[in-house]
Amino acid sequence: MVKNRVARGAAEAAAGDAGGGRPIPIGPRVRHLRQLKGLRLKDLAVAAGCSESLLSRIENDLVTPSLSTIHRICKALAVNVSALVDPVEQRVCTTYGPDDRPRTSHGRAGEGDGSLCETLTPFGAERMLEGLLLELPGGGPLCGPFEHAGEEVGYVLEGELELFVEGERHQLPAGHSFFFSSSRPHSYRAHGPRSCRVLWINTPPTF
């Protein structure tokens, strides 16, 4: 239950930053979660497998971390990624317009991979699934590998997705779908020079 309380505290502290389609500042939430856990900057850096200087720049919003780095930080903090990017949502039915969805950009600056993640499902400690719109840049680096509990299903909306699951390579153009167990090592990127847009569903929430 500590995990859920920490995630809720971080989300509530920054709930005002998620509207209007603006990029969500991850740094202050990372610092907030780290302090709630009683961790020094060095402790979290070691647990997340990154340098102390990089973590400091992330906390001060001087660099945009990659998806892989965000996953490692959240694993070290024992929270889902949604604790960093989503507000707590209490409405019976949540709707987002095209410019209202919480989003996280992982730009080319710093160590970013150029991807854009839009969240379709609001954060909640008891949420059983999450929906994402992922936009991957053409010619971008591989995202992952990731490995965690759960299942994933997706549908390629635009472009072509290159998906690796437990060593198997799958090339998926627009109109193709996929499903796999999240416990199998997986990674992905846009195939070729064009960007790729994917509707991605995870259960339980991992972002």
Distance CA 86, CA 18 (A): 7
Average pLDDT over residues 142-170: 95
Is pLDDT above 80 for 60?
yes
- From 159, 187, 189, select the one nearest 173 (Cα to Cα): 159
124 falls in which pLDDT band (50, 70, 90)? low
Instruction: Tell me the two tokens of residue 203.
Output: 């259960």
Mean pLDDT taken over the chain: 80
What pLDDT is attached to residue 24? Answer: 64
| Amino acid found at 64 | T
**Which is higher by pLDDT, 29 or 13?**
29
Q: Return d(Cα 83, Cα 79) in angstroms, integer.
A: 6
pLDDT at 181: 97
Please report which confidence band the pLDDT of residue 126 belongs to, taking 50, 70 and 90 as the band edges. low
What is the per-residue pLDDT across 22-50, written as a single tens digit (0 to 9) for each?
Answer: 456 788 888 877 876 778 999 999 999 99
Rounded CA-CA distance 69/47 in Å is: 11
Q: Who contacts 47 (Cβ-Cβ below 8 Å, separation ≥6)?
A: 39, 76
- How confident is the model over 78-113, as pLDDT tens digits? 777 777 766 555 667 888 888 777 777 654 433 456
Alpha helices of 60-179 — where are they, by DSSP H? 67-77, 82-85
Mean pLDDT of 59-68: 87
Pairwise pLDDT comparison (10 vs 188), residue with the higher score: 188
pLDDT, residue 204, reads 84
The residue ranking higher by pLDDT, 60 or 111, is 60
H or E segment to which residue 34 belongs: helix 27-36
The share of the chain scoring above pLDDT 90, in percent, equals: 40
Mean pLDDT along residues 123-129 = 70
Q: How high is the pLDDT of residue 93?
A: 85
Q: Indicate the fold that domain 1-92 takes in CATH.
A: 434 Repressor (Amino-terminal Domain) (1.10.260)
Do 97 and 49 contact (CB within 8 A), yes or no? no
* 2 against 92, higher pLDDT: 92
Give the tens place of pLDDT for each residue, 137-147. 999 888 888 88
